[in-house]
Amino acid sequence: MQELDVLIEVLKSKHDIDKESIVKLLTCKESKSIYAAADEVRSCVVGKEVHLRGLIEFSSYCCRTCFYCGLRSANSTLKRYRLEPKEILECASRAVAYGLKTIVLQSGEDKSYSINVLCKIVQAIKGMDVAVTLSIGELKRSEYAELKKAGADRYLLRIETSNENLYNGLHPGMSYKNRVRCLYDLKELGYETGTGCLIGIPGQTIDMLAEDLLFFKKLDADMIGMGPFIPCDGTPLEKSEGGKVDLVYRMMSLTRLFLPEVNMPVTTALGVKDYNGYKNGLMCGANVIMPNMGMSEYKKMYAIYPGKGESINNMENQIENIKKVVFELGRSIGVDYGSRRKTTK
């Protein structure tokens, strides 16, 4: 057997290899056998179901100034919006009426919603018999605890990069240590915890991507979201080169091999960079898609990066298109909450 085949076999059975071997798998010419191995592990461990999560981007206001993100507060060219709690609940019940079993509430770090108001929103959505995922950034442990008590099941907070220097350079006024603290607090509080990284952000090396995978594994992440960095006007990185989709597929495949039980979406950023992103992502280990269930007049305004929101027409079409891709691959749509299914520990 060739060295690469041996590494893939070890990953398939032990779901662990050293960093040097990860780097080899990230840089080798052969991608097909890596994708195929990830697809096989996905099929054996999490099955053929694709879980749909209804995404509601409820506010584009953000107090942060992350170098890559179009929502950064310093981007004064952006027209901002925020939904009223009542509007958020309307979006949620529409998503539930479409049959979705998870509602994801995402926003910039907008301090105008108090934890109390957010708890009430979570409680009301939990009354609709769905899982609730939050993706609202860094909070105090006590705030995460209150939201958990209100019924939130899951939380998404990408580490963005597990390299402390690169992280600190990209996030003025924030710290890598606090980011990691948030993730471990979420885990300890019993949230299903999602993280992930940007792929192809300036300053990132293959070695750092290998470290990202080790970071996900050490955290025992329940969900991983990854997408290519897309340069965005109005940000310090607007003139930089974007991330390559092939590297995203490689990272997704290795994530599935490394953390076999994880729930992993095909991200919107990947869909923007690759017309066949949903299909290709589902063949490289992904088992989740997040249709946008927010209010149509605001979808384009949640401009984290260019191209986002443009492909989203009406919701019915969106869900029908997703189903078509899923069925063409011989897969099915998940009918339950689609929580992490633990087969080990």
Nearer to ligand 5AD, 131 or 232 (CB): 232
Identity of the residue, 58 or 260, whose beta carbon is nearer to ligand 5AD in the bound complex: 58
| Rounded least distance, CB 225 to ligand 5AD, Å | 7
Written as six digits, the tokens of 73 are: 């507060």
Q: Least Å distance between CB 157 and ligand 5AD?
A: 8
Q: How far is the CB of 178 from ligand 5AD (least distance, A)?
A: 15
What minimum distance in Å lies between the beta carbon of 271 and ligand 5AD?
A: 11
Q: Which is nearer to ligand 5AD, 160 or 185 (CB)?
A: 160
Residue number with CB closer to ligand 5AD (17 or 290): 290
Q: Which is nearer to ligand 5AD, 50 or 226 (CB)?
A: 226
Task: State the nearest-atom distance from the C-beta of 280 to ligand 5AD, in Å.
Answer: 17
Contact between 234 and 218 under an 8 Å Cβ cutoff? The reply is: no
Judged by beta carbon, residue 260 or residue 291, the one nearer ligand 5AD is: 291
Residues forming contacts to ligand 5AD in the complex (CB under 6 A) are 68-69, 158, 160, 198, 227, 229-230, 232, 269, 304-305
Closest approach of ligand 5AD to the CB of residue 227, in Å: 5
Least distance in angstroms from the C-beta of 67 to ligand 5AD: 9
Among residues 53 and 331, whose Cβ is nearest to ligand 5AD? Answer: 53
